[in-house]
Structure 1
Amino acid sequence: MDTSVFKDSSRTSVSELTKTALVAALYVAVTVLLSVISFGAVQLRLSEMFNYLVLYHKRYVVAVTLGVVLANFLSPTWILDVPIGGIATFLVLLLCRRVTKNITNDIMKMVVTALIFAFSMFTVAGQLTILYDLPFWATWFTVGIGELLSMTVGGLTIFLLNKKIDLSK
């Protein structure tokens, strides 16, 4: 019996799991390191740059979602942020993969992804409105602008990183 098939399969599984865990851990680490600007009505969560990884490989849907869930336990609004943020991130990551599937230009994929994520910040605005009675539209605007800024800085970082490291592997 040829066991090389099983060895390659388990090596691939370990590699996939390692990459997933690494991205989730990086998301949490960047969010925690910059926690003073990562939460609230005006936020600049630079760890959102990892959202772009889903454009390169589907494994990162789980990795980023896990990172968001774990990081959101540190949020002052964790009671809503963990379940809503986790589910919203998961769905928006899947949406971004689907919407950008046939776009061949990487920069255009990133622009579309950034706009989708900025728009999706209504979930954060809704949480802050419920918990802190903040005005929904103004909060959606400020959180959306912060997300767009985070995604722009992060997009440049991921784009340049992909030039050095093939993120699709």
Structure 2
Amino acid sequence: MNKKTRFMVQAALIAAIYVVITIAFAPISYGPVQVRISEMLTVLPFFTPAAIPGLFMGAMIANVYGGLGIIDVVVGSSATLIAAALTYKMSKKLWAPMPPVLVNGVIIGSMLSYLFGMPLVPTMIYVGLGQVVACYGLGYPFMVTIEKYGPGLFHRKVTE
């Protein structure tokens, strides 16, 4: 398979998996207090740049389903895009889950505070804590599993 095709297939698969997991866990995927299980996939840009558009498209589609309107589709998906690009830049495995935690805590927390009329800082903290659960609690072990069982799936060599 050539590089361009592999990139597009990886991006599409990541997007599809993100959407399916988000919708499957919809009761906890949306709202001011959330743990979006699919956010464990936000560590994938550490391994492949194909995850950047994959996560962006997955978030867009999942946010259409979420019912918070165009603001969530645009702002929420953009937050995922920013976090994914920053994750790709991380040089150490331990730091790879941090961009989605910080970016989503601030951007999604601010957006949800606005949409639900909730206090800003507590909403940012709730979203950030949900991200810690998804990105470090699920995403980091996912990274370790990829490193152990699927090193040929992606191009990047893992560093501690």
Partner of 1:41: helix, strand, or coil? coil
State the identity %.
Answer: 24
Q: Distance in 1 between matches of 2:98 and 2:4?
A: 33
Superimposed CA distance per residue, residues 98-128 of structure 1 (whole angstroms, 9 cap, x where no aligned partner): 2x13x3xx3x2xxx23332222121112112
Pairwise CA RMSD of aligned residues? 1.6
Do structure 1's residue 162 and structure 2's residue 147 form an aligned pair?
Answer: yes
Superimposed CA distance per residue, residues 69-98 of structure 1 (whole angstroms, 9 cap, x where no aligned partner): 111111232321110111121122112222
State whether residues 59 and 76 of structure 2, in contact with CA within 8 Å, keep that contact through their aligned partners in structure 1. Answer: yes
Do structure 1's residue 41 and structure 2's residue 32 form an aligned pair?
Answer: yes
Q: Alignment length, in residue pairs?
A: 152
Do structure 1's residue 75 and structure 2's residue 27 form an aligned pair?
Answer: no
Structure-2 residue corresponding to 1:60: 51
Change over 3 Å in CA distance of 1:83–1:156 after alignment to 2: same
Structure-1 residue corresponding to 2:158: none
2:11 to 14, 17, 20: 20
Gaps of 5+ in 2: 156-160
Gaps of 5+ in 1: 1-7
State whether residues 48 and 88 of structure 2, in contact with CA within 8 Å, keep that contact through their aligned partners in structure 1. Answer: no
TM-score by length of 2: 0.86
Structure-2 residue corresponding to 1:124: 108
Do structure 1's residue 115 and structure 2's residue 101 form an aligned pair?
Answer: no
Q: Distance in 1 between matches of 2:143 and 2:18?
A: 13
Partner of 1:43: helix, strand, or coil? coil
In terms of mean alpha carbon deviation, does 38-47 or 71-80 score higher?
Answer: 71-80
In terms of mean alpha carbon deviation, does 29-38 or 82-91 score higher?
Answer: 82-91
Partner of 2:70: helix, strand, or coil? helix
Superimposed CA distance per residue, residues 22-78 of structure 1 (whole angstroms, 9 cap, x where no aligned partner): 110000000000011001111111111111110011111111111111111112323
Partner of 2:88: helix, strand, or coil? helix
Letter of the structure 2 residue corresponding to residue 130 of structure 1? Y
Q: Whose Rg is larger?
A: 1
State whether residues 25 and 67 of structure 1, in contact with CA within 8 Å, keep that contact through their aligned partners in structure 2. Answer: yes
